[in-house]
Amino acid sequence: MEEREGEVRWDGLCSRDTAARDAALDTIGQAVLRRAESIASGAAADGLPVPAARDGLGEALARLLMLSKRCPFPDVREKSEAILSGVQELGIRIPRPLGHGPSRFIPEKETIQVGKEDATMHTLFAESFAALGRLDNVTLVMVFHPQYLESFLKTQHYLLQMDGPLPLHYRHYIGIMAAARHQCSYLVNLHVNDFLHVGGDPKWLNGLENAPQKLQNLGELNKMLAHRPWLITKEHIEQLLKTEENSWSLAELIHAVVLLTHYHSLASFTFGCGISPEIDCEGGHTFRPPSVSNYCICDITNGYHGVDEIHASPAGSIPVSSTESVCEVEALMEKMKQLQECRDEEEASQEEMATRFEREKRESMFVCSSEDEESAATRDVSRHFEDTSYGYKDFSRHGMHVPTFRVQDYSWEDHGYSLVNRLYPDVGQLLDEKFHIAYNLTYNTMAMHKDVDTSMLRRAIWNYIHCMFGIRYDDYDYGEINQLLDRSFKVYIKTVVCTPEKTTKRMYDSFWRQFEHSEKVHVNLLLVEARMQAELLYALRAITRYMT
């Protein structure tokens, strides 16, 4: 079970060919059982109880557990279970999942169960598994919206695995740097594994200072993009492009910027939807036996309190009557109707529209949660970036003024798209498709109501996020935002977009209490794409200014 051989054997499971998967799994099973037999017979010879899995066996068993629960191919699930049973018969304890589904916020029974998906979803699952070697929890939550998931997976696959300016190990390391800015250990752990898998130097993982100077130089842009993108200037771009031997080419920089913004926004989705650790990663499984009550004292000390407490009610720890929630939905729909009537009757002047934008931008600074507090980055994740104290700051705090970014002067459609496509072919098209799907996605429903035009609500959410970043659309009346988005929803949006690591289940439960989980995931897709586009606009404008 040497590491190199093990990697080759796991790779074989990604094949679409059943015979190839069977052969790969047979090889894995033989190697795992040989190692388990060696451990068991050694313990018996010494008159000792059979020890826990060791020498790489534990990691292999955790991987098999993941395959038995999360692989889209039934043959792999069944064989993985059989191998685990064989190890258990030798007296060696096998792992069990710690969590209850792909999300801590959504009851497992309300998510798509692997093995029970329809044909369209199965195709997406198979493609994801073939590309990533796993069916990750992000995919299992995003699949509420298959059209978006297909676009997301296609874009991510292109960024990470297809021909491009950056070598593969750089791509995964940049993903680690970006996710670490928000202390997103879920994404960091996945990309640490991928980084090593494509031949990355393990020393780089000891801290950013151990990575090449070229990657270290990207740290400043990473932190500004993640927390204060409005501060990025053409001088920052020039510094990266003109640093002699460690300089970036324009094409490499575009690739890096797209990766950074992709993983900053994916960290928002991970925290916003309460994504659980992967079964085979740290925090996703345990070798401890279950207690009578299904969890033991060591689970409690690690923050796990059992499924009944986690999903006590649809509204979590925010008790609310169903009548009150229904009234919220009805009131929101009535406001949408009234705003539409006002639009038809009169249009505000340009001066009034500008005033309303500035008012909304100013008010967004004061939207914060009562749970908002500084959270120290854990050493495990913070080593992947510099200046751990650097975080999100509202625009005009301490008298600092940031000019409004007018979309009419620099937009994704007219400027950013063509710049990306020119320097990193096809990626502009992929991103454009993903933005449009997220923005236009609708099932014409709101909670229990059907045949509803939700375009006004979706636009308010998108424009509110851009407003928080100082981005203004001249043709939008920002007075609509206060009518459609209540305070608890604004708190959730701002937290997920600006400081996602502070998102709590209480925040998730407290907005849109009568809406389906799929609708709340839909909201998160809007947050992800609006945030990514906002970051890209600032970075691409700075690159354009450098080029001209």
**CA gap 280, 379 in Å, rounded:** 22
- The tens digit of pLDDT for each residue in 191-214 reads 999 999 899 999 999 999 999 999
Residues 6+ apart with CB under 8 A from 223: 181, 385, 386, 387, 390
**CA gap 305, 288 in Å, rounded:** 15
212-233: average pLDDT: 95
Which residue pairs from 449-458 have beta carbons closer than 8 angstroms and sit at least 24 positions apart in sequence? 449/329, 449/333, 452/333, 456/336, 456/339, 456/340, 456/480, 456/484, 457/332, 457/336, 457/484, 458/526
Better pLDDT: 443 or 285: 443
Catalytic residues: 184
Across 188-197, 282-291, 372-381, 523-532, which has the greatest mean pLDDT? 523-532
**CA gap 215, 200 in Å, rounded:** 13
Q: Cβ–Cβ contacts within 10 Å for residue 431, how many?
A: 27
Return the pLDDT at 64.
93
pLDDT band at 345 (very low <50, low <70, confident <90, very high): low
Evaluate whether 268 touches 527 at the Cβ level (below 8 Å): yes
Better pLDDT: 82 or 385: 82
- The tens digit of pLDDT for each residue in 500-541 reads 999 999 999 999 998 999 999 999 999 999 999 999 999 999
387-397: average pLDDT: 56
Return the pLDDT at 347.
73
Return the pLDDT at 296.
39
pLDDT at 411 over 50: yes
pLDDT band at 324 (very low <50, low <70, confident <90, very high): low
Across 14-28, 108-122, 148-162, which has the greatest mean pLDDT? 148-162
The dihedral over CA atoms of 168, 172, 175, 176, expressed in degrees to the nearest 10, equals: -150
Return the pLDDT at 215.
97
Query: For 531-547, what is the HEC assignment?
Result: HHHHHHHHHHHHHHHHH
pLDDT at 312 over 70: no
Evaluate whether 268 touches 496 at the Cβ level (below 8 Å): yes
Q: Which two tokens stand for residue 303?
A: 């923050």
Cα-trace Rg, the chain: 25
Across 294-308, 355-369, 443-457, which has the greatest mean pLDDT? 443-457
Closest listed residue to residue 181, CA positions, set 530, 535, 463, 451: 535
pLDDT band at 143 (very low <50, low <70, confident <90, very high): very high
What is the H or E stretch that residue 286 is in? strand 285-286
DSSP 182-232: TT-HHHHHHHHHHHHHTT--GGGGG-GGGS-HHHHTTHHHHHHHHH-GGG-
What is the H or E stretch that residue 269 is in? helix 250-272
Closest listed residue to residue 25, CA positions, set 70, 63, 69: 63
Return the pLDDT at 134.
87
**CA gap 451, 204 in Å, rounded:** 53
Residue type, 331: A
SS3 307: helix
Q: Which two tokens stand for residue 259?
A: 């990766």
Return the pLDDT at 340.
85
- Specify the range with the lowest mean pLDDT, choosing from 94-108, 139-153, 325-339, 372-386: 372-386
Question: Average pLDDT of the chain?
Answer: 85
pLDDT band at 357 (very low <50, low <70, confident <90, very high): confident
pLDDT band at 13 (very low <50, low <70, confident <90, very high): confident
Across 33-47, 320-334, 479-493, which has the greatest mean pLDDT? 479-493
pLDDT band at 301 (very low <50, low <70, confident <90, very high): very low
Query: For 456-502, what is the HEC assignment?
Result: HHHHHHHHHHHHHCCEECCCCCCHHHHHHCCHHHHHHHHHHHHCHHH
Evaluate whether 375 touches 501 at the Cβ level (below 8 Å): yes
State percent of the chain over pLDDT 70.
82
Angle CA(349)–CA(354)–CA(357) in degrees, nearest 5?
A: 125
- The tens digit of pLDDT for each residue in 114-134 reads 989 999 999 999 988 988 888
pLDDT band at 262 (very low <50, low <70, confident <90, very high): very high
pLDDT at 353 over 80: no
Return the pLDDT at 283.
87
305-325: average pLDDT: 45
Provide the terminal-to-terminal Cα distance of the chain, rounded to the nearest Å. 55
Evaluate whether 272 touches 531 at the Cβ level (below 8 Å): no
Residues 6+ apart with CB under 8 A from 487: 367
pLDDT at 71 over 50: yes
Q: Cβ–Cβ contacts within 10 Å for residue 457, how many?
A: 22
Residues 6+ apart with CB under 8 A from 161: 131, 168
Considering the entire predicted model, what is its pTM?
Answer: 0.87
SS3 285: strand
Return the pLDDT at 359.
75
Return the pLDDT at 52.
61
410-437: average pLDDT: 97
Q: What is the DSSP letter of 115?
A: T
Return the pLDDT at 162.
95
Q: Which two tokens stand for residue 529?
A: 């794409």
Evaluate whether 479 touches 291 at the Cβ level (below 8 Å): no
Give the burial class of 273: count Cβ atoms within 10 A of its Cβ; 0-12 exposed, 13-18 middle, 19 or more buried.
buried
pLDDT band at 390 (very low <50, low <70, confident <90, very high): low
- The tens digit of pLDDT for each residue in 445-483 reads 999 899 999 999 999 999 999 999 999 999 999 999 999
**CA gap 262, 529 in Å, rounded:** 9
Closest listed residue to residue 491, CA positions, set 514, 466, 464, 517: 464
